[in-house]
Structure 1
Amino acid sequence: MNQTYPYPSKRSLTYGRAMALASNPSAAAAGRKILEAGGNAVDASVAMAAAQVVAEPTSNGLGSDLFAIVAMNDVLYGYNGSGKSPAAISLAAMKEKNCEAMPEFGIEAAGVPGAVRAWANIHKKHGRLPFKDVLAPAIEYAEKGFVLSPTVARLWAMELEKRRANQGALYDGFWAQFSFEEKAPEAGDVITFPDMARTLKSIAEDGGESFYEGAIAEKIDAFMKAHGGFMRKEDLAAQKTLEVEPLSLSFEGAEVWELPPNGQGISVLMALEILKHKPTIPDDEKSAHVIAEAIKRAMTDVAKYVADPEFMSLSSEDLLNPEYLKKCSDAIGEKAEIVHYGNPLDRSTVYFCAGDNEGNMVSMIQSNYDGFGAGIVVPETGISLNNRLLNFTFEEGHDNCLAGSKRPYHTIIPGFLTKEGKPYGAFGVMGGFMQPQGHVQTLLQLLRYGRNPQAALDAPRFMWTGDKDLVVEEDYNEKAVEELIRRGHRVIRPPHDLDMGRGQYMLYDRKRKIYVGGTEKRCDGTIAVADSFLYKPFAGK
């Protein structure tokens, strides 16, 4: 493993027999606690998922969706825990409300929550400890308090400011739960969520049955009816976690795995296939341009063609057509272009991962989409609903056009690596449409340039935001930035580092039976090591 650190770093590599990686220390501590209680990687990941809901509510909640790639006994499993749109919603129904696009906040933007059912389903198939024990750390945080970390405090203040205009009965629950005398809490504050604690206890006892088909579902239904929303208890009862076949691509000596649509992970594989034909080197002036153009082409096609698979006009195989992607590579010129989608036939999230002392690994991600999501909380439940329906288009005839009982195009994507068919690593870079761009840029660092996981995450990044616009971090190579401008890119400096992706990388050294981890410098990223000799004896379920 390359031990050099080519970029200014706040962190060193972390090694351990087992570990839990997350964007904040409370979640990582929950994962470690479960590992040390004899739990496996799935138990630890579900514990972190539940803890993130409490400790990082600015990015996810009980109303979230979830995706995961699980490696158990050297076999990969993919899970799609995204929720559908309510059956009653439609373009016509939205136009009756005088909406020409989906409102960013409010009752209309909320999709059916998928995360809670995914926790229960994935745990039932792969978990070792009792489900109630796995959720115990999150319940303790919600009931007795957790200490707020600095990045979440920053996000909290920004999110409340963005939602100041959201007032009235619909938003009362949100302000009651997430503001403290109309202000955001500060780093170091100890915070409790009593309503959330009660809901988490219910989920721990019955595996989410009340959430989807019982008393909690009734409360969500009543809240929606009271405020003119579309979601009903029947939509909740119909929610299913899909077991899906992950997609893969060989790249620079490893196999990169992403989940299939309705997620945007396929764009990572498309961009890497394009870059197979374009040699790049780190901190190089021309390479930055080539990488940006490859990402741009992949994401433009995916925005056009990716939707709920039942509604897609093209298949994953069509989008990964090597001949088409070679043409895309050949089409990259010397100047920045405004790219339109081709013909392949000719925004806020939490990512976390865990590895146990048996070599099992989980790559998991969940999100309310835009910060606190729709900005609404169901009374007495602590459930902050997502605003994932923002990812639908209102363009009639588009594969991703708004309709009832349909999964939207989805931004959240867990990643995974294998070598010679054996699980090698779990990774992810969270953050809306930055996610595939973060995957591509960190994978180039790791696989093509030979950087270690921490250096791959520390490397400065850019984000394509449309047309010829590139948001480029301040510490990006100065000559490369000058060259990007010369080639016609409009370079924009980010106002802060919170939108540039927040990632985790965990690789498995099979020979030594240890993990090597890197965590994000742009947030409160934490790696909690749980060595096997600390494990308590496991007595069985």
Structure 2
Amino acid sequence: MTKRPVIGTKTMVVSPHYLASAAGARILQLGGNAFDAAVAVSATLAVVYPHMTGLGGDSFWLTYSAVEGRVRAYNGSGRSGYGVNRGRYAGESSIPRRGIKSAITVPGMVDSWEAMLHQYGRLSWAEVLEPAISYASEGFPLSPDQRNNTLLAGAALSVEASAIYIPGGVIPATGDRFVQRQLAATLRSLAAGGRDVFYKGKIAEDICDYMLAAGGYLTRDDFADHQGNWAEPISTEYHGHTVYQVPPNSQGFAGLMSLNILENFNFGAIKHGSYEYYHLLIEALKLSFRDRDKVLTDPEFSHIPLDHLLDKSYAAELAATISLKKAANLSSEPIGRDTAYAAVVDAEGNSVSFIQSLYFEFGSGVVAGDTGILLQNRGSFFSLDPGSINTLEPHKRSFHTLMPAMACRDGKPAILYGTQGGEGQPQTQTLLLTRMLHYGMNPQAAVDEPRFVWGRTWGEPTQELKVESRVADEVLSELTEAGHLVREVDEYDGIVGHAHVISIDSNGYRSGGTDPRCDGAAIGW
């Protein structure tokens, strides 16, 4: 299944669906820049990959403006409603994972589109949303991934959602024309009125009126008061690159911690794909997850000691605790995995690395009335334990898995990368970057190589290390002997996520790699 990377001299777009990549390329050809194209990709993914992302979800962005010469972060995650508190769930041990009572955070993605277009874009809302509107109103070939996820999660869909995704009670076949007329009408309203239609206008009214009738908790005030924010990204130096992540409430710092720990080992003496390679990465990630789980929440509610966590001397202390022969007995909490990552680089050097999600496949499973909008269930990850760092409180952002990445060389973007998969995001990002920087792999080769994902997913009692079966048998045996709970999965298994990468070499050529485990494409010229 290994593919050649796509190489362009001026531009590159990568995403998990070929139609979304094509939408971004179309906007670039129309004269838009990377920011315009990124919004077009984002909106098109909301239509053609509706099980992974949508207008009812969140997004995080890393941007590089060639004019400004700096990397910025945008936090497009929503807060819980003003009236949402632990008392709403009295007598329950946890927030429901699905249904209207799991949809308790305001969707932040549409606000982030406004931020991109207002700050850096050239085109209008109508121009960048045109591809998404076209696919929603006229239809597109249903992807294998959408069909598989509908088979997996179709039972969790509300009546309104089932009418759209399982019309007539029959799950559409791969390749069937899939039309979303209600969503098309909502997108047309956005094209005409912009952000405020969603947060202060007719769309907000329709969503909140539906939620009130259905027993939900979000109100018009919650939507009207929503605001994402630009932020300084966090970073670390690794192998001649400055690696950037979005700051908390994103888990991005866990990826930086892992790199800081790995910096203490000599990869020149470690063979790629060996036991030593996989074991070291897994153990470094475990240690970063341990600290992440202790502190990650909305930083407006609790201090997060990033200076300490990202300190190189602290990383050296953690590295010294790693046994090269034995797996540490550490644990993690199960985290949702259904997400869409994409990236765009234009001819001027503007670069956008972004990721968006509904949290679980199809989010809460609830479509808000006639809007066609699936509502996310991100807030279901809040804890009802008042002693938890991530405890549910009004107007609070949850611990968030989304973490787009960007590595710069000599102050300019060199690698844009990210992946689907909650717990898997820092894991796959670490695999991708080490493969490219230590072993000289191009983006496609780095994505194609076998992957793993460690941790517990929903409904599983153990901290498994899921490893694709292409890893050598002797390596799997050594990992097992060291104490890893190894479970072989398929050769190219979707459980390890859908990763995409753009690299920019010293000649300025853009190389794109997309995951063979999904329906994506890299388009550049």
Q: Same fold (TM over 0.5)?
A: yes
Matched, 1:504 2:500: yes
CA distance in 1, matches of 2:258, 2:222: 36
1:336 pairs with one of 305, 327, 343: 327
CA distance in 1, matches of 2:236, 2:493: 30
Q: Which residue does 1:438 correspond to in 2? A: 428
Give 3-state SS (helix, strand or coil) of 1:325's partner.
helix
Q: Which residue does 2:25 correspond to in 1? A: 32
Q: Which residue does 1:15 correspond to in 2? A: 7
Structure 1 stretch displaced more, 467-476 or 14-23:
467-476
Q: Which residue does 1:150 correspond to in 2? A: 144
Q: Which 5+ residue runs of structure 1 have no aligned equivalent?
A: 1-8, 342-346, 532-541
Give 3-state SS (helix, strand or coil) of 1:522's partner.
coil
Matches of residues 225-240 of structure 1 in structure 2 within 5 Å?
A: 225-240=212-227
Matches of residues 137-536 of structure 1 in structure 2 within 5 Å?
A: 137-161=131-155, 163=156, 171-280=158-267, 281=270, 282-333=272-323, 334-339=325-330, 347-466=337-456, 468-494=463-489, 497-511=493-507, 513-529=508-524, 531=525
CA distance in 2, matches of 1:216, 1:99: 31
Cα deviations across residues 72-126 of structure 1 (Å, max 9, x unaligned)? 113211100000011111112211xx32101110112112100011111211111
Q: Which 5+ residue runs of structure 2 have no aligned equivalent?
A: 457-461
TM-superposed CA distance for 1:340, in Å, is 6.8
Cα deviations across residues 331-366 of structure 1 (Å, max 9, x unaligned)? 11221122279xxxxx20011111111111110111
Cα deviations across residues 429-472 of structure 1 (Å, max 9, x unaligned)? 11111111110111111112211111111111111114652111
Which letter does structure 2 place at the counterpart of 1:123? Answer: L
Give 3-state SS (helix, strand or coil) of 1:400's partner.
coil
CA distance in 2, matches of 1:64, 1:515: 30
CA distance in 2, matches of 1:378, 1:426: 34
1:89 pairs with one of 73, 84, 103: 84
Matches of residues 34-73 of structure 1 in structure 2 within 5 Å?
A: 34-73=27-66
Which letter does structure 2 place at the counterpart of 1:328? Answer: L
Q: Which residue does 1:539 correspond to in 2? A: none
Q: Which residue does 1:106 correspond to in 2? A: 99
Which letter does structure 1 place at the counterpart of 2:65? Answer: M
CA distance in 2, matches of 1:209, 1:318: 40
TM-superposed CA distance for 1:377, in Å, is 0.3
CA pair 286-369 structure 1, distance change in 2 beyond 3 A: same
8 Å CA contact 1:337, 1:468 repeated in 2: no
CA distance in 1, matches of 2:250, 2:500: 19
Q: Which residue does 1:538 correspond to in 2? A: none
CA distance in 1, matches of 2:434, 2:201: 47
Give 3-state SS (helix, strand or coil) of 2:338's partner.
coil
Structure 1 stretch displaced more, 464-473 or 374-383:
464-473
Give 3-state SS (helix, strand or coil) of 2:512's partner.
strand
Q: Which residue does 1:344 correspond to in 2? A: none
Q: Which residue does 1:536 correspond to in 2? A: none
Give 3-state SS (helix, strand or coil) of 2:385's partner.
coil
Give 3-state SS (helix, strand or coil) of 1:521's partner.
coil
Give 3-state SS (helix, strand or coil) of 1:310's partner.
coil
Which letter does structure 2 place at the counterpart of 1:14? Answer: V
8 Å CA contact 1:352, 1:363 repeated in 2: yes
CA distance in 1, matches of 2:411, 2:473: 40
Give 3-state SS (helix, strand or coil) of 1:499's partner.
helix
**Runs of 4+, deviation exceeding 4 Å:** none
8 Å CA contact 1:262, 1:407 repeated in 2: yes
Cα deviations across residues 125-173 of structure 1 (Å, max 9, x unaligned)? 1101122100110001111111222233322322215x2xx5xxxx211
CA distance in 1, matches of 2:14, 2:512: 8
8 Å CA contact 1:35, 1:356 repeated in 2: yes
CA distance in 1, matches of 2:435, 2:506: 21
CA pair 377-468 structure 1, distance change in 2 beyond 3 A: closer
Which letter does structure 2 place at the counterpart of 1:261? Answer: P
Q: Which residue does 1:4 correspond to in 2? A: none
Cα deviations across residues 385-444 of structure 1 (Å, max 9, x unaligned)? 000012212222222111110000001111101001122121111111111111011111
Give 3-state SS (helix, strand or coil) of 2:380's partner.
helix
TM-superposed CA distance for 1:240, in Å, is 0.7
Which letter does structure 2 place at the counterpart of 1:339? Answer: L
Give 3-state SS (helix, strand or coil) of 2:100's partner.
coil
Structure 1 stretch displaced more, 53-62 or 222-231:
222-231
Which letter does structure 2 place at the counterpart of 1:118? Answer: S
Structure 1 stretch displaced more, 76-85 or 147-156:
147-156
Cα deviations across residues 236-268 of structure 1 (Å, max 9, x unaligned)? 111111101111111112111111110111100
Give 3-state SS (helix, strand or coil) of 2:276's partner.
helix
TM-superposed CA distance for 1:510, in Å, is 4.7
Structure 1 stretch displaced more, 148-157 or 519-528:
148-157
Q: Which residue does 2:459 correspond to in 1? A: none
Give 3-state SS (helix, strand or coil) of 1:225's partner.
helix
TM-superposed CA distance for 1:184, in Å, is 2.1
8 Å CA contact 2:112, 2:228 repeated in 1: yes
Give 3-state SS (helix, strand or coil) of 1:363's partner.
strand
1:127 pairs with one of 111, 121, 127: 121
8 Å CA contact 1:361, 1:425 repeated in 2: no
CA distance in 2, matches of 1:299, 1:312: 18
Which letter does structure 1 place at the counterpart of 2:186? Answer: T
8 Å CA contact 1:202, 1:208 repeated in 2: no
TM-score, normalised with respect to structure 2 = 0.94
CA distance in 2, matches of 1:328, 1:362: 32
CA distance in 2, matches of 1:206, 1:321: 46
Cα deviations across residues 203-261 of structure 1 (Å, max 9, x unaligned)? 11111212111111111111111122111011111111110111111111211111111
Structure 1 stretch displaced more, 496-505 or 63-72:
496-505
8 Å CA contact 1:453, 1:517 repeated in 2: yes
CA distance in 2, matches of 1:489, 1:476: 14
8 Å CA contact 1:260, 1:316 repeated in 2: no
